[in-house]
Amino acid sequence: MKDIFIQLGEAIIHSQTGHIQVTRQGYQEGKNRAPENYLIEKAADLRAELAKNIPATEVITSRLSFNGTLNNGKRDLGIIGEGIEASLENKMGTYLQFVSGRPLKDTDFDGIVIGQGVAKSLGLKTGDRVTLLATLAQGAVNTLDFEIVGIFQSFSKDFDARAVRIPLESAQKLMDTSAIHMLVVVLKKTETTAEATIKSRQLLSGRGFDATSWNKISDFYEKTVELYDRQFGVLKLIILIMVLLSVANSINMTLFERTREFGTMKAIGDRSSDVFKLITTESLCLGALGALLGMLIGTIAAITISAIGIPMPPPPNANLGYSALIRLDAVSVIVAGTIGFTACVLASLIPARRASRIDIGEALRHGV
């Protein structure tokens, strides 16, 4: 489960959102209605300030978002476009796979890369020329011609079905502006996202900007995690019940076969409490030994399986399958061992109480 969430998160971060997006306040809510109200002027100064003050920053890149129509000369398709800084985006977009062609370069002034879904909808291939139409805030329509240099595939089908990317300068020309909509911050480690987001908000406080972490932006990630949490929650409950039942069954069968032994103990003077203590002590020892062996064998198995990899199909609404790992986590290993130990101890209490109270005569006649 942990590996699924980590790999899904990294795929979204390094193909779409980055770790943190710095925008004008209200942009996330108002970008579809009036994106022209949330433009960032003098982005270079803000970028330098963020790079200086946010710890563990790897890349900060500018984007200009726009909605428009892509025309192949025969039919149109509504798209969601982004103007990007090609060289910086290529550093962060490590999870963006190109099924045809190549990524954008800084020299591709009339180059465009499109999602696989866009290419299928319009019957496009690399080398084809297309026209991009966008409506400006003043109501005018602007158009630019582009050559398709690459067709990409990301983790999300929805994204690939609408997304196109062009050089930032071309997007600014198309939208008749020198501003941008966001600065995308990519960190060296995803684990530092929360700390970096807090630091960014403190830095931008009272200046009309906002910093939003990647997991708050991606609705796809949140819904996928929620779905998997429900599914695996039920699975964990089933496994726990199976563990309890199997341990209880083993202890019951063992104690049943030792009924005459317990009768003999009581016949030579042992009290019922002595029998109860014997059984629970044995269960404690067996539970501890079983838990330790289980943790050891499980850890070795996890390392071995991870070295090979587990082929996984694409998650819901995703394009790409992936190779899953078993990510060893000390807390999870200890919890698993504790569950096994606790199950063994709890499962022994009722059978031990029953065995300690059995009639001596009945116990000695058992199996005869």
Q: What is the mean pLDDT of residues 307-313?
A: 84
Single pTM value for the model: 0.75
Q: Is the dihedral of CA 260, 261, 262, 264 positive or negative?
A: positive
Instruction: Find, among 75, 86, 178, the residue nearest to 131 by Cα.
Output: 75
Phi/psi region, residue 56 (left: phi>0; alpha: psi -120 to 50; beta: rest), is left
Q: What residue segments make up the domains of the chain, in order of their start?
A: 17-217, 222-365
For residue 245, the model assigns a pLDDT of 84
Q: Where are the alpha helices (DSSP H) in the chain?
A: 2-12, 27-30, 43-53, 86-92, 116-122, 157-162, 168-175, 193-204, 214-217, 219-257, 259-267, 272-308, 330-356, 360-365
Residue pair 70/76 in contact by the 8 Å Cβ criterion: yes
For residue 363, the model assigns a pLDDT of 78
For residue 125, the model assigns a pLDDT of 94
Q: Is the dihedral of CA 63, 68, 71, 76 positive or negative?
A: positive
In 10 A of CB 60, how many CB atoms? 22
Q: Which residues neighbour 61 within 8 Å (Cβ) at sequence distance 6 or greater?
A: 18, 84, 85, 88, 89, 92, 183, 184, 186
Confidence of residue 361 (pLDDT cuts 50, 70, 90): confident
CA 164 to chain centre: 24
Q: What is the mean pLDDT of residues 209-237?
A: 85
Instruction: Find, among 183, 102, 176, the residue nearest to 140 by Cα.
Output: 176
pLDDT in tens, 343-360: 888 888 888 888 888 888
Query: What is the spatial distance between Cα 87 and Cα 168, in angstroms, rounded to a whole number?
Result: 11
Higher pLDDT, residue 106 or 183: 183
Query: What is the spatial distance between Cα 160 and Cα 176, in angstroms, rounded to a whole number?
Result: 26
